[in-house]
């Protein structure tokens, strides 16, 4: 039987808040099973996410929309067994938080399976849901910018917030969600200047993916970090396994190091 690593205390939402105040960056990564969760947490990843991206990288769909709450719950159970001290977040998948009743029921399912926080996609319209969950002891990560569950509405995987008015709207709505109780904001696929402005505007930690190097944390998909996904690669993706002679653990260690040093993402992997 594996014994949990004692190299660091368990990461909590308070840990992330303290790291933001101290100006210390943190690394996040998706994990969908025992082995990936174990390897990532042992490498020093602070936040693991059981993301609905599993629809593409695990199930082979062309979007995250077919993923169900049962799918996420199963992978949370698997990842929990491998996790060694990271904060374990889980996505509420498409149409699983369409009402107060559904939001509470489905978030409770994931928390009972071992999640420490749930992630929802959307803007200010999620304020009441965020407040509802937070008041009942369920930490919330609000996912903004490019929201893959709304891909049909957005018209494709496009950079968000390039228009100044749209960028300001994202910041304003993030503040609404922070006021409603969101513990973390995740911002995807926006210009790096907007990522920096948003991060500086928020009291809670901001995690970026394709949002420049100035956010408090960075997240990538496991299969992208290791160059495993055969589909189209986004600009913000970097293969840390390529050329790394230390294998998967070396790739994970290099990712953590580059995030903490502010070297990833660089200009090549960011949007102007």
For 41, counting Cβ atoms within 10 Å of its Cβ (0-12 exposed, 13-18 middle, 19+ buried), the class is buried
CA distance 40 to 48: 8
Residue 117 phi, psi dihedral angles, 5° rounding: -160, 150
Q: Is 188 an active-site residue?
A: yes
8 Å CB contact between 51 and 30: yes
Residue from 49, 92, 100 nearest 67 by CA: 92
Catalytic residue among 188, 242, 254, 268: 188
Beta bridge partners of 209: 188
CA distance 206 to 143: 10
Residue 155 phi, psi dihedral angles, 5° rounding: 80, 20
Q: State the catalytic residues.
A: 188
């Amino acid at each position: 039987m594996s014994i949990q690593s004692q190299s660091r205390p368990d990461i909590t939402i308070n840990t992330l808040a303290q790291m933001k105040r101290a100006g210390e960056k943190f690394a996040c990564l998706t994990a969908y099973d025992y082995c990936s969760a174990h390897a990532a947490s042992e490498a020093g990843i602070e936040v693991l996410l059981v993301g609905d991206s599993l629809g593409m990288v695990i199930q082979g769909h062309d979007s995250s929309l077919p993923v169900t709450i049962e799918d996420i719950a199963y992978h949370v159970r698997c990842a929990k067994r491998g996790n060694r001290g990271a904060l374990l977040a889980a996505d509420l998948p498409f149409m699983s938080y369409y009402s107060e009743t559904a939001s509470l029921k489905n978030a409770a399912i994931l928390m009972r399976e071992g999640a420490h926080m749930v992630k929802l996609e959307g803007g200010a319209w999620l304020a009441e849901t965020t407040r509802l969950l937070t008041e009942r002891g369920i930490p919330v990560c609000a996912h903004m910018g490019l929201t893959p569950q709304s891909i049909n509405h957005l018209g494709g995987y496009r950079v968000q917030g390039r228009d100044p008015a749209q960028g300001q709207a994202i910041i304003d709505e993030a503040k609404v969600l922070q006021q409603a109780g969101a513990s973390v904001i995740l911002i995807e696929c926006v210009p790096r200047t907007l990522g920096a402005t948003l991060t500086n505007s928020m009291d809670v930690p901001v995690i970026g993916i394709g949002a420049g190097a100035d956010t408090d944390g960075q997240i990538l998909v496991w299969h992208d970090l290791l160059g495993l996904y055969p589909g189209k690669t986004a600009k913000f993706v970097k293969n840390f396994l390529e050329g790394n002679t230390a294998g998967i653990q070396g790739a994970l260690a290099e990712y953590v190091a580059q995030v903490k040093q502010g070297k990833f993402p660089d200009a090549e992997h960011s949007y102007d």
